Structure 1
Amino acid sequence: MKRSSITRRDFINGVSAVTLSGLLGGSYAASAADSTTARADDPPLKQGLRGQYPGSFEIAHVARDGGFTGPVQARDTGEHYDLVVVGGGISGLSAAWFYRRALGPATRVLVIDNHDDFGGHAKRNEYRIQGRTLLSYGGTMSIESPFPYSFTAKSLLSELGVDLSRTGGIEQPRIFSGMNRGVFFDSDHFTADRILAGYTPNAPASFWKDAPLDEPSRRALIHLHDPRVNFLPGMTPRARRVLLQSISYETFLRNYAKLPDQAVAFFHGDGYRNNMRVDSCPAFMAMRYGAPGFAGMGIEQDPVDDSPVFHFPDGNASIARLLVSQLVSAVFGTPQNMESIVTAQADYGELDRAGSPVRIRLGQMVVRVEHVGGASAQDKAAGKAPVRIVYQKPDGSDPARHAVTAENVVLACFNNIIPYIVPELPDPQKEALKYPSKVPMMYTSVVLGNWRAWKQAGISSLSVPHGYYQHLLLDSPARFGAFETVLSPDEPVTLHMLRNPNFPGHPRKEQNRMGRAEMLATSFETIEKETRAQLQRIFGPHGFNEEQDILGLTVNRWPHGYAYTYDTLGDPEFPEAEQPHVVGRRPFGRIAIANADSGASAFTNIAIDEAERAVQECLVSRGYT
């Protein structure tokens, strides 16, 4: 059987920079102010608290709390579209693209999104530092998944100009020659503060000899990482699989690998698939994602056939930008490909231009989607009535509401808001849509004046088991035409820091809810303080000075982060047709549902696949197929 290798997925869901420059002193403030000189209104240049930032979602909570029961009054704009898409992330933009491809370039489409930028979780962070443009990603990071992309998803990427056969000439791994993955041991949980470089799931005894561990933990971790050891002897491969699906990875480590507490603490920062922690991740899934302890035993498993892996400097924001370039050509002006889109400047004033067949309306939240009044319930359910869509400012500051109508609607927003904005859905479908608990994640982008400390430590990525952020990664070295992401250690670079709120001892869904509450309650000032303190503690011994070396900071907060995925510990074994995401995505009249939630999988290819399915359902509802 093929075993998945370690990739960047192993480490893997505001204020303006001018305002931020007034809050922070030193060289950071000057750089933040300079970065907005050219395009102060460009959303990717905004720093501070981004992602689901204050002012982008408050009306959604009003809807959740019953604030929109009964008829919702709104001013009719007089606009009628073939399709309205609720949500401007990759799934929503893909739905608009598939719908126009099916019905032709004259098809009228409106995309509505509550944020000030398109892309959803595919968020772009942009900086102007010392005469250079630097980029980072504020959410979904890579073209990758633990299974092959479908024909649909691959075809869309190809038509957007993404050619993965060219990535070998784009990636520049030589820049990080001699640098690899490291682990930071903190003295609060181990015996000293120390970075160790060269960690792998089969780390040899030589790696552990300098680890700040007590001797029993050192011996236990050496034994665990020995690929020859079978911790489940006397069992068939099938029996091992059944056992590992029924226990957490922590239970495996404690009860079968016999790790003492300090050795188990080494794994407390690991987030396996969709932020499943050591206590909530099934041991079988931990094994599939490369966790140590399983190499020496035969375990029945399905073949692993990963997709290709490719990382744009701004993550999959480049895919969203390529979609926009084809939907509203005036936004980028000229045709774009996978290299040119990286540095292309978007004209946000062209997104919602009157007369354009496709319009993208930002900064508006949909609060009601319903088939037009006067139609019978039977006609609505049968798709014989068009749809009314009501929206308003997402922060609630303006009570004015506006309404448009459409022949079809694709809901590419979060599943958990749909029951509150589409009250005419059947109750079983509403309950299914409420089943998952979105995974909270925080992606912080930091601009460093140099990366000498990282070079000295010999690492390009770092796991921090008990840190405020659990995973730190320097940007990937790559060249897109004349644009290079990483230069010499003396040059500025973007650093990506990933935080998964961790509340061990609670069920996984409850951990997600607790993490969401913590994230919403934490101020930017507190996050900035924790960010600076962590970097100083880790890299101070290597010459890092947070007051001088941090030149930019963007906190991409995603309380409702990645799509919920099922697991063998936290979810019952549903029959396929009764899985909540399958029940929840059923079309209703002229309304269809597309998003990663509706595929129960937090990957870009799933968002694309679900968009195409929803569009097919729309076409059926209008009698086209």
Structure 2
Amino acid sequence: MSLTPRDLGLDRPISRRDLFDGIALASLGSALGPVPAARAASTPFAVRGDTAEALSVPHALRDGRFWEHAGAPEPTGERYDLVVVGGGRAGVSAANGWLLRHPSARVLVLDNHDELGDPRPPVRAAGPDAVMCDAESFGADTLVTTASPGWIGRLPIAEAARRDLLRLHDEPPDWFPGLSAEAKQERLAELTYSRFLREVCGAHPDVERFCRTMPSRDWAYDARAFGAIDAWGTGYPGFAGLGLDRDKPSRYNSPTVRRDWHGAAPAAAPALDGRALLRLSSPVVSVRDGVSAATVGYFDGDRVGTVEAGAVILACWSAVVPYLVPELPEERRRALRQVVRVPALHATVRLRDPGAWRRLGVERVRWTGAYWCATEFAPPDSVRLVATPCRSELGPDAGSAAGRRELIRTPYDVLERTIRDQLARLLGPVGFDPAGDILEITVNRRGHAYPPEHCRPWHAYHPDGPFPADAARGPFGRIAIGGSDSVPAARADAAVLAAHRAVAELAR
């Protein structure tokens, strides 16, 4: 049954927060459009994160508008041995690494946000306890608990699809008889998991539809972009009959799958050495190498101030670098622009009473086709939701760019309506009221969430290279690139590796 906006509680006075890359979108004026009168007076958007400059300044640089209004830079008279652009994991690692080599150095870290965060990819969670075969995929909602025996037989899919899915789980054949293990891995590296299911396994379309969102929570895109070689490495159904060695990953696996093969955990986020000076809400707008020092300009909200630096490490997104360092050779600028980060969308809903979720009897639910692809209980009283803005049918690069544009344009009210609707569909049968049982909704849109990962079949240069980052890296006078985008490494480790390499390049 379709619920009205009033049934869903869209008019209720609750705490609502809509964040984009850490910025409360309400502070951007018209970004959300008008707030409905029913909640304008009693439902303020709580502001967390930076002012609008955190994104508006980099975007103005990109669009060629910033210097039209910024005024001439004003020297502050400050000089540092190292200036780090970006205060994330890479920036903190770069500052700490420099101070380890030069304990008495003066180090300044500039960041465009008003607090330091650690935007890591989601921690690999256990698999879902249940799958919601939703109306978007199969015409009606059916929740199936996957931990109980015979769960495939309860799926609302065609009988032929049930047989195919059972075969993929229990007795898949050798799809490539006569080929060597290396040749089988090469074949998998040419396919996405969706294509593997359709074209190699010949599975019923319902099977691909059921499996499509299996990678979504961890990778921020679905099986239409997720490589078959990584699906094999992650343990997805359909590969057991190939006889491939499970003691080691394939050379074609992505860096994250290779790192996770034996359960290796990413290093904890480092804390900034107390000897370094941190300046927040200070987006960098120019970096120029000079005769005796580099000059770094940053916007403090009123003016552009400049400091001198003996060395500069750009621990920021690679795509930003060409706008900060216009003197870079064109080949390096092109390589830097090839980097496309993956967007992500998360929401946290605080419940008045978590009893309905406990009565549901599961902790994690994967959805097969609804807007939010994962819902999971977060004790003591919250639900976390994940959506994947990436247009997966276009691949991780083009799909991320297209999905980011759509994410920016999506009104907050649309997101809240989908959240309430899916929670009503999931929890309504066990006594949940979407109008009265929700106290707070926080939506966190991250347009540039995760560093890109080299993966097959999309990046033919993986694993042997040369990689786009090879042409982008290396010192440029006193300037080095040390952001997580600049290395072909697992996402959680790339920032630290890039920072350490940049420090070593400038210390030569």
Q: TM-score range by the shorter chain?
A: 0.7 to 0.9
- Distance (Å, rounded) in 2 between the aligned partners of 1:108 and 1:442: 38
Deviation (angstroms), 1:413:
0.7
Q: How many residues end up aligned between the 2 structures?
A: 469
Aligned residue type for 2:241: G
Aligned residue type for 1:417: V
Partner SS, residue 443 of structure 2: strand
Equivalent residues of 2:354, 2:382 under 8 A apart: no
For residues 295-327 of structure 1, give each alpha carbon's deviation from its aligned partner in whole angstroms, at most 9, with x where no partner exists. 2321367445434448xxxxx9xx55x604xx2
| Residue of structure 2 aligned with 1:230, choices 150, 153, 174 | 174
User: Which 10-residue stretch deviates more, 62-71 or 532-541?
Assistant: 62-71
- Distance (Å, rounded) in 2 between the aligned partners of 1:574 and 1:541: 48
- 2:293 equivalent to 1:386: yes
TM-score by length of 2: 0.82
1:311-322 aligned within 5 A: 320=269
How many percent identity over aligned positions? 30
Deviation (angstroms), 1:585:
2.3
* 1:297 aligned residue: 242
1:346-361 aligned within 5 A: 357-361=275-279
Compared CA separation, residues 23 and 574, structure 1 to 2 (3 A):
closer
1:105-124 aligned within 5 A: 106-121=104-119
TM-score by length of 1: 0.68
User: Which 10-residue stretch deviates more, 85-94 or 537-546?
Assistant: 537-546
Aligned residue type for 1:112: L
What's the Cα RMSD here?
3.5
- 2:262 equivalent to 1:306: yes
Compared CA separation, residues 511 and 617, structure 1 to 2 (3 A):
same
| Residue of structure 2 aligned with 1:501, choices 364, 384, 389 | 389
- 2:424 equivalent to 1:550: no
Compared CA separation, residues 239 and 575, structure 1 to 2 (3 A):
closer
Deviation (angstroms), 1:618:
2.4
Partner SS, residue 81 of structure 2: strand
* 1:600 aligned residue: 488
- 2:191 equivalent to 1:247: yes
Deviation (angstroms), 1:231:
3.5
- Unaligned 5+ residue runs, structure 1? 1-12, 34-45, 122-138, 146-172, 174-178, 311-315, 329-356, 376-384, 476-485, 487-491, 621-625
- Distance (Å, rounded) in 1 between the aligned partners of 2:464 and 2:344: 28
Equivalent residues of 1:197, 1:458 under 8 A apart: no
Deviation (angstroms), 1:465:
1.7
For residues 244-274 of structure 1, give each alpha carbon's deviation from its aligned partner in whole angstroms, at most 9, with x where no partner exists. 1112211211122222222211122233674
Deviation (angstroms), 1:418:
0.4
Compared CA separation, residues 210 and 605, structure 1 to 2 (3 A):
same
Partner SS, residue 110 of structure 1: strand
Aligned residue type for 2:320: I
1:513-592 aligned within 5 A: 513-573=401-461, 578-592=466-480
Aligned residue type for 1:408: A
Deviation (angstroms), 1:503:
2.8
1:451-530 aligned within 5 A: 451-475=354-378, 486=379, 492-530=380-418
Deviation (angstroms), 1:464:
0.9
Deviation (angstroms), 1:54:
5.1
Aligned residue type for 2:448: H
Aligned residue type for 1:386: A
Compared CA separation, residues 516 and 219, structure 1 to 2 (3 A):
same
Aligned residue type for 2:117: G
Compared CA separation, residues 116 and 25, structure 1 to 2 (3 A):
farther
* 2:6 aligned residue: none
Deviation (angstroms), 1:455:
2.6
Aligned residue type for 2:289: H
For residues 93-122 of structure 1, give each alpha carbon's deviation from its aligned partner in whole angstroms, at most 9, with x where no partner exists. 111111112211x4322111111211252x
- Distance (Å, rounded) in 2 between the aligned partners of 1:239 and 1:575: 15
For residues 153-206 of structure 1, give each alpha carbon's deviation from its aligned partner in whole angstroms, at most 9, with x where no partner exists. xxxxxxxxxxxxxxxxxxxx9xxxxx962111112322531221225xxx96x0
- Distance (Å, rounded) in 1 between the aligned partners of 2:175 and 2:414: 43
Deviation (angstroms), 1:514:
0.8
- Unaligned 5+ residue runs, structure 2? 1-20, 250-257
Deviation (angstroms), 1:574:
6.4
Aligned residue type for 1:208: I
- Distance (Å, rounded) in 2 between the aligned partners of 1:618 and 1:539: 56
- 2:74 equivalent to 1:186: no
Compared CA separation, residues 120 and 309, structure 1 to 2 (3 A):
closer
Deviation (angstroms), 1:51:
7.6
Compared CA separation, residues 614 and 576, structure 1 to 2 (3 A):
farther
* 2:286 aligned residue: 368
Aligned residue type for 1:360: L
Partner SS, residue 471 of structure 1: strand
- Distance (Å, rounded) in 2 between the aligned partners of 1:522 and 1:93: 33
1:118-137 aligned within 5 A: 118-121=116-119
Partner SS, residue 242 of structure 2: coil
Compared CA separation, residues 439 and 468, structure 1 to 2 (3 A):
same
